[in-house]
Every structure is written in C-alpha cells, then in structure tokens.
Amino acid sequence: MSHVSSSAFGRSSQIILNVYLVIFFAYMFLPLILMVVAGFNDFDTPSVTTWKGFTWKWFGVLAQDTRMWTGLINSIMIAVGVILVSMPLGLAGAFMITRFQSRFNGLLYGVMVSPLLTPGIILGISTLIFWREGGVSGGLFTAAVAQATYISSYTMLMFMARLKRQDVTLEEAALDLGASHTQVFRRITMPFLKPTILTASVIAFLQSFENYNTTIFSIGGSHTLVTEIGSRMRFGLTPAVNVIGIIFVVLTVTFATIYVIFREREKKRAAAVAG
Amino acid sequence: MNSLRRSFGPILSLVIVVLVGVWVIGMIVGPQLIMVEQSLWNKEIGGDAAMNSTRIDRLYNEVDTLGFDISDAEALAESPKRTEKIATITAEIDAKKSTIKELEAVEIKPEKIYSFKNYTLMGASHFFIFVKTIGAAVAVTIIAFIVCYPIAFTVAKVATPGKAALIMLFLIIPYSINELLRVFAWLMILDNNGVANLLLGFMGFDPISFLGSGAGVFIAMIYAYILFMVFPIYNTVETLDSSQIEAARDMGAPTWQIHRKIVIPHAKPGIAVGCIMTFMLSAGSFAVPNIMTRGIAEPWFTQLIYNKFFESSNWNVGSAYAFTLVIACIVFIFMMMRFFGVGIKDIAK
Amino acid sequence: MRGMDIELRDVSIRFGGFTAVHPTNLKIKAGEFFSILGPSGCGKTTILRMVSGFLNPTSGDVLIGGKSMAGIGPDKRPTALIFQSLALFPLMTVRENVAFGLEMRGMAKGPRSDKAQELLDLVALGDQGEKTPDELSGGQRQRVAIARALAVEPAVLLLDEPLSALDLKLRQHMRSELRDIQRKTGVTFIYITHDQGEALTMSDRIAVMKAGVIEQVDTTDLVYNAPSTAFTATFVGANNMFKGKIKEVSSDGAVIDTKYGLLRGTNPKNLSVGSEAILFVRPEKMTVQSGGKKSDNAIDVKYERRDLEGAFVNLHFLQDGDKFSVHQTNVNLKSHEKGESCTIGFDSKAGMILATGELADE
C-alpha cells in the first residue's frame, strides 16, 4: 500500500488539497499556453493582448532564420562532444567510488559531485579562464568542456546507482573461471551497464542541449540554439521565438507522456513480481 | 589502489585513475584554482609609466576618431577641398601613430601584484546588488518549499496511483521545458502591455512597471526554479513507510503534528537538496535577470559578473565577483547541512 | 484500562467492483483475546483497518462499547493498532516512541516520561528507553510497539500479524508474552493472523475467514474439534480426507460411501442421504491397526515414510494416489518398511462428515 488510506486525512483537507493542486497547475501551465497562443498571432511582437488574427507565418520566418539553424547545429555538436566526454568520465568516477576503498573516498566523492552544487555560470567562467591560460579562447570546445564538467557528475551518479545493484561475485566468478580483467570488463561489467549508458546519454544530450547559464559564459563569439534564443529575447524579439517555444512544448509533452507511461508500466511490473 | 586493481586489473585501473584525474584536476579543481588565482592579482603600473599608458590609450582613441573624420570627408563630393582635408587628416594620423610607437617602445609591461584588492573594490552599489541577489534567492527558496511541500507529499502519499502518475506528468512537463522559454512566457505577462497590466486595467488600476522595478525578475525566478524543490522532497517522502503516518494518526496526532514529527524529519535530506538546488539556481541564474531586466531595471549580481568579463574585460575583478558567489553558495550549503543535520553523502544522491 | 466490546452490524466493504468483505455480523466481547484467522487476501486485514477507522465500511456499522463509530477517525477511536511492519518511528528514541501518543494528547513532559517508563517496564524494556528502534532486536521492537500502543490506554488493541517477521523460537515466546499482557491489562485484543498455531495458542475465540466471508466463530477447542465447514477443517490443523456420498443417516452419525468402502462418522451438520460429503479424521485420532482382523473404518494402505517431529512421529501412507497421515506418540514405536501393507483406522466418533466445499490449499 503505497499511499495513506483516505480516512487518515479528513474529507475537508482532501478538498483543500485538490483546489490547491488546480491553482498550482494553472500557475504552471497558463504562461506556457499564452506563449503558445502568441506564436500564432499575426503581430510583430509576441503578444496575446493585441490580437491581429491567426497566422502560421512565424513558422516560415523561423525556418528562414540561418542563425537559428547554425545554433541548432552547434548545439548538437556540443551535445555529442559532451556525451563522448561525460560517459567515460562518469563511468571512471563511478568505478572509483564504488570499488576503490580509501579514506579519501568521501573527499573525492565530494569533489566529483561539487559541479552539481556550483552555479552554472561559475563552471563556464572557470573553464574559460583555465583554457585561456593554455591559449584556447572561448568557443564550442570550451562550452562543451564546461558542460561536461557537471554533466559527468550526473552520469557518475547514474552509473553508481546501477553499480550498487551489481553482484560483485559475478565478476569474481568470471575471474575464477579464468577470464582476464579486460574480458570480465567486456563480457560482464559493460553488458550490465549498457542500459544505463543509453539513458545517461539521453540525459547528457538533453542537459547539454538545454543549457544556457554555463554555455553563455564559455562559448565566446559562437552561439548555440539556446544562447541565440536568449539574445533574441533581449534584442529583436519576434513571435518566431514563440514558435520555438511551441516546438519545445510539443516535444516535451510527447516525451514526458511516453516517459510517465513507461515508468508506470515498470512500477506495475515490479509490483507484480513482488507479489 | 589494490581494491581497484583486484576488480579491473592493472591496465583498466590505470585508465580509470587517469580519467578521474583529468576530470577532477583538469576540469573541476584546476579551473576553480585558476579562477581564484586570477581574482587575487591585478596589473598595476605606477607613476610616469601609468601616465605613459594613459597617453597611449588617449592617442589610440584620437586615431580612431580621426578615422571617422576621414570616412566623413570621403563621403563628400569630389573637390580640391576634400582632397586637401583628407591629406591633412592622414598626416595627423601618421604623426600620432609615430608618437604611439615611440611611447610604446618605452612602455613598461605592467606587473602582476597579488592582493585582495579585487574583493574590496566592490562598491556600495555592487555590494547592495549582491545582497539583493542572495536575499532574493533565499526568498525564492523559502517560497518554493512552502508551495512544493504539499504537492510532493500529495504525489508521494495521498493520491491514488493513477492520480499520482497524472500529477507527476503535469510536473515533469513544465520542469523539462527550457528555462528561457518559461521565463519568456512571464515576459509576455509582466510587460507594460502584458496580460497582468491588462487585467489590472480591467480592475481600474494604473499599470505597474513590473519589469522596471525588478519585481519581474523575482516573479519569473520563482516560476523558473520552483519545481527543483518538488522532486527531491518527493523522492524522500516516497520512501517513508505509510504505516508510520497511520500509526501517528492512530495515536491521535493531528495533521500538522504528523508532518512536524514524522514526515518532515524523514524528508530532511530531500528538503536540504531541494533548498540547495533552488538557492544555487536562483543566486547563480543569468538567464532570468538577463531576460527580465531588459536593461531597464537594476542589474543582478550574475549580470555584474558577465559585464566584468565581457564588457569591461576586467577578468580579475570578474573572477573575484564570481568567487564571491561561490563562497555564498558554499556557506548556504553548509548552513543547510547543519540546519537539517545531513551529510554530503545524503545530499548528492 | 478496561476492554470494550465490538460489534460489526451487516458490515461490508467493496473496492470498486471487488467485494473485500461480504455483509458480516460479529460480536467480540469486552476483554476477550479474539483472533481472525484466514489465508492472505481473505479480508481479515480489511476488517481490522475498518475497526481502527482507516477504512469506512461500504455498508453497515461498527460499534465499539455500544457506540457507533461512523464518521469517527482513527485518532478519535478507543483503539490502537499494531502494524505488521510495527511502524516504529526510526528517528525517535524508544521512550519518545512510547510517549508519542501521550505527547499528542498534550501530556506534559515529566508525566509522559514516567508513564512511558511504566510501560517499558511492563514489556521488560525498562533500561532500553534511550536507544533507537534500530538498535533493538526483533522481539524487543515488537514489545516497544505494544508498549507504544498501550500508552494511549486503548480499550481495544488491534494487532495485524505482528509476529510474522520474527523467527520461530521468538514467535513462540512472544505468544505467551502477548497472552500475559492481554490478561494483565484486560484490554480487548483483536489479533489478525494466517498462522493457525498462533490463533489456537493465544485466543479465547477465533473467527475463521475465507474470501471475505467469516466461516466460523467459536472457541479454540470447537474450531479445532468441531469445524463447521470443509474449509475450516482443512485450514485449522491437518486432516485425512475421504470423499464420497452419504449412504445412511442415523441418530449417532452417518455412513459415507467412499472408494475405500463404507466409513462411519459423526454428522454435526445433519446432512441428508445422497449429499456429497467429506469425512475428516485428524492424524492424531488415526491408528495403525495390528493383526489381520478388519474392523469398522479400516483402510488398507502402503507405508511410505515417517517424519520425526520430536514428541511424536508423523507416519505417511499412500493408497491410490491419496496420502494419509497418522501421528503416534514417540513411545514404543513399531518400525515399518517402505511399501509394507498396513491397515489404518479410526473410531467413528473421530470422523467428522461435512458437506463438500472449498478446501484450504496447504
């Protein structure tokens, strides 16, 4: 029984709670709805208060926007780079923490998760300064490195969660049967981690793609899709930005729904197995 | 190191150690140290040398201005007067350039001087902005906790499984939409011609400049980061055995006591994580103030940092400001750990 | 502390389309140790949660001490519930746990600490008050849960399989301890279990439950010696079974026609001739007959093996794919060989003929 039986809380508090939820979700969704509506307004600045009629034209305007397209390509390039860096780093960190017993373990762990507790702009700034010392100025490379600093912490935590459920005796059994360490790694450890590598890659990609604070401080003169959106919001704002919003909303709703359905199914399966 | 070798053998162990080294030293600790180092020095030049540098700078400016004059003159119609004018200006530029060369030849390269000066440079106005930023972040954190705790508790313990899944979906959707776009939605609401002022107008009030007053930043910040409080609290409350709540109720505990004595003590690690995340995101947010101040409201601390780096190109002072923000976050994290009595292992789960 | 009586009047509970408890009437006397015994999923926990107030009946009424409990929440009822998981608060000390209910009632710190000490003494944990529940053993945690529930001076204590997490030895020890506490306090105990041993050793009376229906309510002796349905007969204790049709009915019993011939037994339910029935015989009431002379109620079987249970041995016999079991006290045992032909039998007073019905699958 995962939830508390209804009579543990009075009926009146149930009603209050329901009203509260409705207000909260209205607060969460109304602004997004306004943003979507303004994307179809035939008016030069994003607005719902001045309605000039329905139009699809901002989709066309966005499709013609070359800076947006280069931003998208840059975003994807950075995200791929981040995956390539954060997978091995996160994996190595997770192995180190789960398998390396030493009194520095706690400190090491603290350092490796610290990027998650550091403001994004600081990661951007410090990476920029660090690489300038080495003669590399801000660009896609520094942006990818800065993002990978904290995204590796995410992937590490995901790998750690998976490794905690691993039966270490499997590896020992394989070694006992004469496998080399490399063979054990390839045949036992990696297959076990495979599903996590997949989900961690998706998370890493999304985190990188969505990032603004770290990127804007480390990308120098280049731009990503998200930093370009950011600068459009300050200068030259048109409903084309709302169209991007519409695209993001549609994608998010789709994937979030799939995710929740998948999660519920997993939960039910787990419950069925448990009894 | 032996434990690692036993699991992976010498070669893989070495790879693991090297990768962790690159990450920890080359990406986390190294850049932080360089940033701190940068914040601790500045280039100073004293006496004549300083005057010399100032003169060079001034001459460069003059050359630039003369450049504009030339292009102005070139825009005129062809005439002897125009030719003469261009010649005069060109001569003048050449003269100044040769002076610059002479002066630069004797210019002394400035030296790094280490001091805490960059930290003390922050004037009263910037310090006020710092305090305002931190204060707003604390306020966002408190509001987020008050708003989100009932929701996290509802999803974890009260709602039936089907309803809980639906609420979860409604939380995940706004949570996953890019923060810029969510903030942008509020720009449309709080703009002078926006929805909020339209509604105020209907009710017979004068329009309020939400954006100009900086209130816009605060309102959008609450909206942007409030959901970061829900999930950590949900994750810990969910692990609470529901019979604990029922047992407390059975023994006569009123609802508020159940929360005070049973649920909140159990959820402490999650609450601490939620508070740290919300505070850190708010205090370190560049997206929200950058969009919501629109250059009309007073800047936020992150904007000051940005300006130091990318507008006035004073990286030393910028680093000092940035590190000040880091310290504020570290202090907040330690305060939360003490207040909730949790360790770093509980937090980073 | 004084126990109160409980009455269920036409109570039923439905979850959506599923009826967890069919309309039920039940009276539990004040100060009684009452067990509800049944397999998992039979609705016994549902009844307990309804008495405690965590569930509202779909129809009918629950009365405690003669008063209707409709609309009264769990915190306002004179009941205390001991959860299967115990639900001790892990972040509080043992003493704080025990004193929790008193604190919630606004009792000052001094008195409630004294009262908690008194209760901890009652459950023999007087010196463990400053520990946290995690630092105690399973049996000690059990006793803390009891002390905590008793602290609020309930008239009725509801126990939801509280011993299920303990190992066998401890479970047996805790049975007598629970019984003692119940006697000492005089509180009405309603004890939920699927373990017939627990129910039989501790209770005054037992309700046997199956699929949302109470099959029988009786004293422990009657539930064991005079089960009223085939389900009760097989769920409480072991039985040898002979299926067949009733051939003859007389004043002192009936004769049932089985594949092992005609067998005679009692007919407590007054079944009529021709009805499908099962004759049940407890293993301890069966005997292995010596000599070739065939008496009444004799069955030819093949010896299979024996299990030594300590005080007695359990002899297993086989015939036509049916299994039979005979208990003999561990005195002057005769040995048999596997496959040896034997005759087993029983006194006709030991055979109980009951209507065919669903059996407990154990």
**pLDDT of the residue at B230:** 94
Q: Quick check: B265 and C91 CB within 8 A?
A: yes
Is residue A71 within 8 A of residue A227, CB to CB? The reply is: yes
Structural domains of chain A ordered from first start? 66-238 (1.10.3720.10)
Judge whether B270 and B233 are in contact, CB under 8 Å: yes
Instruction: Report, as an integer, the average pLDDT of C229-256.
Output: 88
Q: Please tell me the distance from the alpha carbon of residue A251 to that of residue A239, in angstroms, as a whole number.
A: 19
Mutate to test the interface with B, among C75, C88, C93, C158 (most CBs of B within 10 A): C75
Across C341-361, average pLDDT: 86
pLDDT single digits (tens) C107-140: 899 999 999 999 998 888 889 989 999 999 888 9
Tally of CA atoms within 13 A in the half-sphere of A33 that contains its CB: 7
- Cα separation of A174 and A56, whole Å? 61
Q: Give me the phi and psi of B300, to 5 degrees please.
A: -100, 170
* Stretch among A211-215, B54-58, B223-227, C238-242 having the lowest mean pLDDT: B54-58
pLDDT score of B264: 94
Q: Which of the four pLDDT bands, split at 50, 70 and 90, describes residue B262?
A: very high
Distance from the A14 Cα atom to the nearest Cα atom in chain C, whole angstroms: 14
Which residues on B lie below 8 Å from A216 (Cβ)? 286, 306
Q: Which pLDDT does position C2 carry in this prediction? A: 78
Inter-chain CB proximity B4 and A95 less than 8 Å: yes
Tell me the pTM: 0.82
Question: How confident is residue B1, by pLDDT bands cut at 50, 70 and 90?
Answer: low
Distance from CA of C87 to the nearest CA of B (A): 5
Lowest-pLDDT choice from A88-92, A270-274, B328-332: A270-274
Write out the H or E segment, with its range, that includes residue A259.
Answer: helix A240-274
CA distance A198 to C199: 53
Other C-beta atoms within 10 Å of B260: how many? 12
The pLDDT value given to residue A275: 45
Closest CA to A112 of A164, A161, A157: A157
* Res. C354: pLDDT tops 60: yes
User: Distance (Å, rounded) from C-alpha B106 to C-alpha A199?
Assistant: 61
Greater pLDDT, A30 or B80: A30
**Whole-angstrom distance, CA of residue C352 vs CA of residue C268:** 7
Q: Report which listed range, B78-92, C154-168, C217-231, is most confident.
A: C217-231
Name the least confident of A185-194, A212-221, B125-134. Answer: A185-194
Q: Does A252 contact B177 at a Cβ distance shorter than 8 Å?
A: yes
The pLDDT assigned to B2 comes to 67
Residues B19-52: tens digit of each pLDDT: 999 999 999 999 999 999 988 888 765 556 667 7
The position carrying tokens 């849960």 is: C145
Looking at per-residue pLDDT, the higher value among B348 and A275 belongs to B348
- Test the C interface: residue of A2, A5, A12 with most C CBs within 10 Å: A5
Q: Sorting pLDDT into bands at 50, 70 and 90, what band is B110? A: low
Q: Is the pLDDT of residue B169 over 80?
A: yes
Pairing of strands C322-329, C276-281: unpaired
Alpha helices in chain B (DSSP H): 2-21, 30-39, 47-75, 80-106, 117-120, 124-153, 161-176, 179-190, 195-202, 210-213, 215-225, 227-238, 242-250, 255-258, 264-283, 287-292, 301-310, 315-340, 344-347
C-alpha B287/C-alpha B225 separation (Å) is 12
Distance of CA C254 to the CA centre of its chain: 29
> What local confidence, expressed as pLDDT, does residue C208 receive?
93
Average pLDDT, chain C: 88
Q: Span B124-143, mean pLDDT?
A: 93
ipTM surpassing 0.85, yes or no? Answer: yes
Contact status of B192 with chain A (Cβ, < 8 Å): no
Share of chain A above pLDDT 70, in %: 95
Of B151, B280, B290, the CB nearest to A21: B151
* A83-138 residue pLDDT tens: 999 999 999 999 998 887 777 888 899 899 999 999 999 999 999 999 998 888 88
Three-class SS of C212-231: CEEEEEEEHHHHHHCCCCHH
CATH architecture, range C231-355 = Beta Barrel (2.40)
Q: Cβ contact (<8 Å) for A5 and C54? A: yes
CA B131 from chain center: how many Å?
14
How far is Cα B328 from Cα B301, in angstroms, rounded to an integer? 12
Give the length of chain C. 362
The predicted pLDDT at position C1 comes to: 52
Looking up tokens 């509970």 gives C13
pLDDT at A274 over 80: no
Question: Which H or E run contains B36?
Answer: helix B30-39
Place of tokens 């999304």: A206
Report pLDDT for A85.
96
Contact B243 C84 (CB under 8 A): yes
Q: Where are the beta strands (DSSP E) in A103-191?
A: none
Q: Are A24 and B147 in contact (CB under 8 A)?
A: yes
How many other CB atoms are found less than 10 A from the CB of residue C61? 13
Question: Distance between CA A73 and CA C64 in Å, rounded?
Answer: 73
State CA C13 to chain mean position distance: 22
**Edge-to-edge strand order for the sheet containing C298-308?**
C286-289, C341-346, C298-308, C312-319, C322-329
Nearest-Cα distance to chain A for B233, in Å, is 16
Mean residue pLDDT across chain B: 86
Task: Give the gap in angstroms from C-alpha B240 to the nearest C-alpha of chain C.
Answer: 10
Strand C188-193 versus strand C156-160 pairing type = parallel
What is the predicted pLDDT for the residue at C294? 63
Count how many pairs of residues, chain A against chain B, have C-beta atoms within 8 Å.
279
Task: Please tell me the distance from the alpha carbon of residue B143 to that of residue A218, in angstroms, as a whole number.
Answer: 32
Cβ-based contacts of A121 with chain B (< 8 Å): 284, 286, 302, 305-306, 322, 325
- Which band of pLDDT confidence, cut at 50, 70 and 90, is reported for residue C293? low
pLDDT of residue A5: 61
Q: Check B326 against A119: CB less than 8 A apart.
A: yes
Residue of B171, B176, B250, B251 to mutate, interface with A, max A Cβ within 10 Å: B176
For residue A1, what pLDDT is reported? Answer: 40
Domain boundary assignment for chain C: 6-230, 231-355
Q: How far is A260 from chain B (nearest CA, A)?
A: 6
What six digits make up the tokens of A249?
A: 């909303």
* A8-14 average pLDDT score: 70
CA distances from B178 to A32, A200, B188, C70 (A): 11, 19, 16, 51
Cβ atoms C349, C252 nearer than 8 A: no
Tens digit of each residue's pLDDT (9 = 90 or more) over A136-164:
888 999 999 999 999 999 999 999 999 88
pLDDT at B134: 95
The alpha-carbon radius of gyration of chain C (Å, integer) is 24
Instruction: Tell me which CATH code domain C6-230 carries.
Output: 3.40.50.300
